[in-house]
Amino acid sequence: MMQLYKIKNTTQLDFYSPSIETATEMPLYSSMISAGFPSPADDYLELSLDLNQYLIKHPSATFYVRVKGDSMVNAGIYDGDLLIVDKSLEPKNDSIVVCVINGEFTVKKLKRSGEKLYLIPRNPRYNPTQISEEMDFQVWGVVTYTIHEPN
């Protein structure tokens, strides 16, 4: 089931539930790949990896969110990215969270300063939002992984 919630001047989110009924095992090579100078390649296949098992620690509390917008680009979250969000994790200071404010969803960095709570965009074009008692505010989950296509 997919729902789209529009957020004024911020990031929009599409929600998806993970399907963990089927395993999709992919080959995992035993040698590491160099991001610096090239190294000799090994053609040795050691084991396989199921990305569901690797990326989803709490299946019944996990959902996917597709991002629309640019408010989190400096956190490495871009328009079109897929976020893996775990509702069972306790949000901490500086966590990237999916939350709802007055009925509208967004993804932001959670920041506590003394007794005040803020949602911080990671793009200087947007301003932080201070959470007040008058707001209907709830954290839906903590972002555990971001999946995006390379440039």
Residues 140/100, Cβ–Cβ less than 8 Å = yes
**3-state secondary structure (DSSP) of residue 61:** helix
For every residue of 102-124, DSSP letters joined together read TTEEEEEEEEEETTEEEEE-SST
**Catalytic pick among 19, 71, 113, 132:** 71
Give the H or E element holding residue 53. Answer: helix 51-55
**Catalytic pick among 8, 57, 92, 108:** 108
Sequence length of the chain is 151
Residue 108 bears catalytic tag: yes
* Planar angle of CA 142, 96, 20, nearest 5 degrees: 35
Beta strands per DSSP E along 21-136: 25-29, 45-50, 62-68, 82-86, 96-101, 104-113, 116-120, 129-131
Residue 6 bears catalytic tag: no
Ramachandran category for residue 18: left, alpha or beta (phi over 0 → left; psi -120 to 50 → alpha):
beta
Active-site residue set: 71, 108
